[in-house]
Chain A
């Protein structure tokens, strides 16, 4: 969001230095407002109450997964397996529901699966000293394999109780349940980062592992827990989306589970985090998810084809990553230019 940063007057930062800590959040908020204002002229439907609620619901799935992803990116890792986690959790819970298992046990089982996935990812990355990118790509492949073998590649549907469906499709007041869950999770995560020692240890581990270890942090435990949280949040997101449809499809994947990890990574990075770790905030991540949600909602409304959407999404992530590298590439280009000139 460097462009926006340069729009914000520098004097603002000088007089109130603490604003500098929130410049990313401020910049994205401004961008969201701009998009809102512009969208009014582009599509009359966009600002309708129905569409906005729908937008919030869409955003909730991404935002919940993105908050989990935020912890992993904060410690300098990455988790490419959350889409597959969503799939496996969806399959397990629908299978259990169809078999007549109680909702409580089903949810507990789903969370247990998520916990296991997170532990595996975290332990292999941390104790095996391997690249998180490679490890989670492999666990993703394994989980997708399990899903295909267990489901035989066919969709699973049957008699799913209404109470389960309520988790995904229901409302509390006029607000969809997933949106409420998103807010609860965001507030809890915000509190955790701000007020707990674990949150602080996540920051310092991401900033400088060695220094964190030297100042008494159990770096390995912190890293494993970050992967566990990420998988658990993906599980929650998966439960919410599978409960909305009430059936499981292994190939087309409900709620865009296959591209889930990229959506989440995009939200985190657009929200101001750095892929090298130690930077970013919950509020930024949430705003990133909202901005991302608005764009995905707006594109079909103004007649942009879903094929082009993917292209645009790719460019958004690329832009965000370039910007979060603090314009390193731009600096290099300028230097080269200066040499020529």
Chain B
């Protein structure tokens, strides 16, 4: 294998903060090279330099042995470097085909007019070649997130690049789509395309990577062959210290039943779901896209209108209508997207933390107890170990992990009975992850009943006392911790997926 891309002594400084420090790396032709590291380790900066978004302050880049300098992303694209960014970049009002060929639409020869027929044709051919069943004439906004992501991947792949950068490509994808992605990756490698792959999901890295490079605090710590990697070896390198176990033990004993759900149904989304949640229990919700797992949690919190069936919480029959009502009844909810659904980015931490208990805890006849707010939110920040200058800071000044802690802090205060967590560790680095797991345990130990919805299987298996598996809108299995394995969960998750 020859080197296709090389970085030599690359450094990048953002306002006195060195985010990349003298990194030298080579990427070989046709290899999948995984970059791993905690958030803030420098992975994103590195790929942004490779893809021309940033320019390195020091150091040089070589493409096929020639020195190159990218002034902007289109330079890098022209040189054969295609990037799949973490955030979806599509234009929602355009069709799938138009998005795939954005800014490189086929033209009528000799004119600037777009050849729509050819555009549609090429998009269809591409989908067939990649084995994707996506309607190329559908508008992007009509498609679910995971499908949009696949379109994005198809676009990156279709650019005939010699280097494809993938930043967290599997976030939001369901199992089927992941298989399709991995198939595409295989095909790309056969065509001698180099893939630079970033993922927080260690299992993916282990099974896909030819080589793995670990970054920490902007420095390259190690590069090793993929087959020599395992969690015990990588995680200490990533965090620079030993991590006893990612999933700490819990001393919670299962108490009385808190939440009894009987025959809960919501239109075509799910039907006849029944389960009981106990004090001190962490109950996992597993399922693929549209399985109903996430819809059930959202419904319980009052986000999906009126379901049929019976929900009893703390001995009271609930009339589910909106989040305010659910919070009053003791149900708290940590949404999956902290930036758009959780945080108030331009408000201070105090406001962010106390927002969920304004009526119940922090006011009397609508008058706020400012001092109590201050002491309580200060306490939460200390208890969760949020790294911050003080309560006056805004969440957008904090790292992802600390933002998530702030959001968790909102539901730690107050007398909730049930805490629903959706993807509590998405986009959070390993250190913050284990901190969040510890907090979940301590909450369970204090008697809170927790529902954990996650698409990360190891997280479900590591954290939950019981895992409920959903498929096609029905509850297909309830697996105790001792019995639950990845294979078994996946089997039940696919049970009603007739393809």
Contact = CB atoms under 8 A, between A and B. Distances in A.
Contacts of B359: 197, 216
Interface string B334-346: 0100001111111
A308 B370 CA distance: 47
B368 A197 contact: yes
B342 A214 contact: yes
Contacts of A195: 367-368, 370
B113 to A, nearest CB: 28
Contacts of A194: 368, 370
A217 B390 CA distance: 26
B333 interface: yes
Given A201-B358, A216-B356, A208 B340 contact: yes
Interface stretch (A14-22, A159-167, A230-238, A290-298): A14-22
B178 interface: no
Interface string A212-237: 11111110000000000000000000
Contacts, number: 89
B451 to A, nearest CB: 16
Q: Is the interface of A mostly helix, strand, loop or mixed?
A: helix
A199 B370 CA distance: 13
Interface in A182-203: 194-201, 203
Contacts of B335: 211, 214
A208 B343 contact: yes
B367 A210 contact: no
Given A17-B392, A21-B392, A339-B72, A203 B341 contact: no
Interface string B310-333: 000000000000111001100001
A212 B392 CA distance: 19
Given A196-B367, A203-B347, A217 B340 contact: no
Contacts of A198: 366
A126 interface: no
A208 B328 CA distance: 21
B368 A213 contact: no
Interface in B402-455: 410
A317 to B, nearest CB: 22
A323 interface: no
Interface string A243-283: 00000000000000000000000000000000000110000
23 contacts: A21-B348, A196-B367, A197-B359, A197-B363, A204-B347, A204-B351, A207-B344, A208-B343, A208-B344, A208-B345, A211-B340, A211-B342, A211-B344, A211-B355, A214-B323, A214-B333, A214-B335, A214-B342, A215-B323, A216-B327, A217-B355, A218-B322, A278-B347
Interface of A: 17-18, 20-21, 194-201, 203-204, 207-208, 210-218, 278-279, 339
